[in-house]
Amino acid sequence: MKYCPKCKSMFEDWVTRCSDCDVELVGELPKEPEQENIKYRKLMQVRNAGDVAFIKSLFEANSITYYVDADISSKCVICIQPATIMVDERQYDDAKELTKDLKIDFNRF
């Protein structure tokens, strides 16, 4: 079996690229960091679900470990309760640098 390193989907051996992510498949997935060893730090709060999705894809593309503490639905364009985006404290400066020039409405910590 082969795997997509981005979305973690499983494919037959004859498939070479992920049909959703358009990335080359790998023989095994890289090990995930152990969650209990990660200390998270608040980076920002975002109200727009599209902006949250963009930031998540930006972090995933740059291997930033993160989580979003609110369940923002794709049906919600502007949300009443902002989503707090948390990042691995060891990657905080990298995440801050990646997001410094974004033209979105957010509160930075």
Summarised one tens digit per residue, pLDDT across range 31-57 is 765 656 889 999 998 888 788 888 999
Residue 72 CA to residue 68 CA, distance in Å, equals 9
Residue 22 half-sphere exposure toward CB, CA atoms < 13 A:
0
In the chain, the number of structural domains is 2
Residues 57 and 24 in one domain: no
- Give pLDDT, residue 80: 64
Q: Given CA atoms 64, 69, 75, 76 in this order, what sign does their dihedral have?
A: negative
Residues 20 and 48 in one domain: no
Residues 70 and 86 in one domain: yes
Residues 53 and 102 in one domain: yes
- Give pLDDT, residue 33: 57
Q: If you average pLDDT over every residue of the chain, what do you get?
A: 83
- Give pLDDT, residue 74: 46
Looking only at the bridges linking them, the beta strands covering 10-11 and 2-3 are: antiparallel
Residues 69 and 16 in one domain: no
Do residues 105 and 48 lie in contact, with contact meaning Cβ atoms separated by under 8 Å? yes
Residues 49 and 91 in one domain: yes
User: Over the stretch 64-79, which tens digit does the pLDDT of each residue have?
Assistant: 999 888 655 444 555 5
Domain that holds residue 11: 1-29
The token duo for 63 is: 């291997």
